[in-house]
Amino acid sequence: MRSPLSTLPKAELHIHIEGSLEPEMMVALAQRNGIALPYDSVEAVRAAYQFENLQSFLDLYYAGAQVLQTEQDFYDLTWAYLQKCAAQHVRHTEIFFDPQTHSDRGILFEVFHSGITQALKDAKTQLGVSSALILCFLRHLSAEAAMATLEQALPYRDSIIAVGLDSSELGHPPSKFQAVFDRARAEGFLTVAHAGEEGPPDYIWEAIRLLKVSRIDHGVRCVEDPALVEYLVEHQIPLTVCPLSNIKLCVFDTMAQHNLKHLMDLGLCVTVNSDDPAYFGGYLAENFASVESALELSPEQLVQLAKNSFRASFLSPAEQQPYVEELETYN
Ligand code: ADE
Ligand code: ZN
């Protein structure tokens, strides 16, 4: 008998570890570290999560991240997310972290890096969840600050597979970071970038042509440029789409209006991801369930999305193959 679709093996390729900070942990870490929060309960934190755009979310997200102080805090944060992965059949995850959110508060690279990577190692042995780490530059800060962050990361390069670009998109095009990404590639890092979440298709072109990205994070606005869609299809450049995020940040008004199914029908390599699950109402399984019901996806389309998640990952083709074969048994 065929297994239920809820057990599909999946990879997650777009998750900001700081965005997995649940209100319960935020309040507990604030207490542990003697930090005052502008909320008097877990419920009040959750009630504040009403956003009208990306910036209104980022303001709360950066404020929330301030409770993260010690190596143990970063371990606990990462471990909680990885336990969710194990429970939701996420077998592999490629995790973003934002060094500048922490180093600009005086937290040493060594502190957050050790906490995160120790949890990743434990997840491999204790939960059977594999992972990779992607360092994101905050694009609202300067290119010089990004370059300094890259230099801080060089001693840790064996544990970081790629660099990415996140934070406020509008007004901060990929071209601003061309020199940093040139250097990162010369140092052996792969590249990805958020583009076409709120920003125009030209930012996606820049990410491809100037930053030479392997994947586009979000990318949903590509449909506004038919030549871009054609290019993305021809080169099968993956889009790491984040459905619940896009609704919470008002990129689409309702899930029924989300263009994920349309993107798949156009022949694009689309993956489903959670982005900032603690802020947007769900982890990977909830994102799958939401698009399945709102867009009436077929079982074949769900299996396709799961296959895409491994094919678009930084796992080697040989590492991807067993997952793809396992997914074939669902068809
Ligand atoms: N940082 C965390 N989540 C983000 C998102 N959805 N877009 C840009 N930067 C982010
Ligand atoms: Zn993101």
CATH assignment at residue 58: 3.20.20.140
Residue 249 · residue 49 · CB < 8 Å: no
Model confidence at 171: pLDDT above 60: yes
Q: What number is the average pLDDT over the span 247-257?
A: 98
How would you class 74 by CB atoms within 10 Å of its CB: exposed for 0-12, middle for 13-18, buried for 19 or more? buried
Query: What's the confidence (pLDDT) of residue 2?
Result: 61
Compute the chain's Rg from CA coordinates.
19
Q: What is the C-alpha to C-alpha distance for residues 188 and 198, in angstroms, rounded to an integer?
A: 29
Task: For ligand 1, atom 6, name the residue with the nearest CA.
Answer: 275
Q: What is the average pLDDT value for the chain, to the nearest integer?
A: 97
Q: Whose atoms come closest to the Cα of 14: which ligand?
A: 2
Q: What is the C-alpha to C-alpha distance for residues 209 and 43, in angstroms, rounded to an integer?
A: 45
Nearest CA to 143 out of 191, 183, 84, 101 is that of 183
Pocket of ligand 1 contains residue 197 by CB under 6 Å: yes
Q: What is the C-alpha to C-alpha distance for residues 136 and 112, in angstroms, rounded to an integer?
A: 14
User: What domain range is 50 assigned to?
Assistant: 4-328
> What is the 15 CA–ligand 1 centroid distance (Å)?
9
Pocket of ligand 1 contains residue 100 by CB under 6 Å: no
pLDDT digits (tens, 9 = 90+) for 28-43: 999 999 999 999 999 9
Pocket of ligand 1 contains residue 276 by CB under 6 Å: yes
Domain count, the chain: 1
Query: What's the confidence (pLDDT) of residue 5?
Result: 83
pTM score > 0.95 for this model?
Answer: yes
How would you class 106 by CB atoms within 10 Å of its CB: exposed for 0-12, middle for 13-18, buried for 19 or more? exposed
> What is the 54 CA–ligand 1 centroid distance (Å)?
7
Residue 84 main-chain phi, psi, to 5 deg: -60, -45
Pocket of ligand 1 contains residue 19 by CB under 6 Å: yes
Q: What number is the average pLDDT over the span 306-310?
A: 98
- 292's CB contacts (< 8 A; 6+ apart) are 302
Model confidence at 4: pLDDT above 90: no
Pocket of ligand 1 contains residue 149 by CB under 6 Å: no
pLDDT digits (tens, 9 = 90+) for 173-190: 999 999 999 999 999 999
**Is residue 52 flagged as an active site residue?**
no
Nearest CA to 148 out of 120, 183, 193, 96 is that of 183
Q: Which of 197, 206, 286, 319 is catalytic?
A: 197
Per-residue 3-state assignment (H helix, E strand, C coil) for the chain: CCCCHHHCCEEEEEEEHHHHCCHHHHHHHHHHHCCCCCCCCHHHHHHCCCCCCHHHHHHHHHHHHHHCCCHHHHHHHHHHHHHHHHHCCEEEEEEEECHHHHHCCCCCHHHHHHHHHHHHHHHHHHHCCEEEEEEEEECCCCHHHHHHHHHHHHHHHHHCCEEEEECCCCCCCHHHHHHHHHHHHHCCCEEEEEECCCCCHHHHHHHHHCCCCCEEEECHHHHHCHHHHHHHHHHCCCEEECHHHHHHCCCCCCHHHCCHHHHHHCCCCEEECCECHHHHCCCHHHHHHHHHHHCCCCHHHHHHHHHHHHHCCCCCHHHHHHHHHHHHCCC
Q: What is the C-alpha to C-alpha distance for residues 280 and 231, in angstroms, rounded to an integer?
A: 31
Model confidence at 235: pLDDT above 70: yes
Tokens for 115? Answer: 């906490």
pLDDT digits (tens, 9 = 90+) for 84-126: 999 999 999 999 999 999 999 999 999 999 999 999 999 999 9
